[in-house]
Amino acid sequence: MTKAALFDLDGTLVDSREDIASSVNRMLRDMGYPARDEREIYGYIGGGVHKLVLASLPPESVTGKPASDIVDEGVERFWRIYKDHVLDTTAPYDGVRKALKTLSGISGLKLGVATNKPLTHARLILSGLNLSGLFSCVKGWVPGLPVKPDPAILLLALRDMDISPSDAIMVGDGTNDLLAARAAGMKCCLVGYGYGDKARLLEAGPDFFAERVEDLKEIIG
């Protein structure tokens, strides 16, 4: 029996692409660089914030500096800007609230969040969307903590929940979620409605695949 289900946040529980992309463009303008098409930025989401910012920064011919030299500045500016815009348009995927309420009512099953998003930002989103009460544990990035695909965030959540990895499942929309789950000794369910490319996700070989939000109850419960 599954005793705990950990959920990624962006692309799994909530669609936050528009707020992330608009904050990237605010960051670029703040640094004196031209904004990008938001649909282009969508394609950079999912590999971690450093990859997101690095891909979004203009080439050296525009900045006069290698992108690697200014990415840390960009990341710092992005998180500061994004914190004020995490709930401009972000909302749960259709059916997520109902699915979580159903799962939270299953005896012996604990729900948690394990995200690469800073813990402060994750809590703002969950609280603002009235989802916080459905989770017994929320873990996000804090200084010094490695992010997925490192399993650290997942293992911290399970430790706080007093659940063995072999009794837990990670639910996410990207291969980083799968790799982290495997490294932690957990099963993994990838979702087909989030940011990830379905073909690539299936090729990665998750233990389960949820085409729709509604599939999560059967897989986890």
Total number of residues shown for the chain: 221
Please, what's the b/e burial string for 49-58 (b: 16 or more CB within 10 A of its CB; e: otherwise)? beebbbbbbe
Distance CA 169, CA 52 (A): 27
Distance CA 165, CA 159 (A): 9
- Please list the active-site residues: 8
Q: DSSP assignment of 175-221, as one string?
A: HHHHHHHHHHT-EEEEESSSSS-HHHHHHT--SEEESSTTHHHHHH-
Q: DSSP assignment of 132-145, as one string?
A: GGG-SEEEEE-TTP
DSSP label at residue 1: -
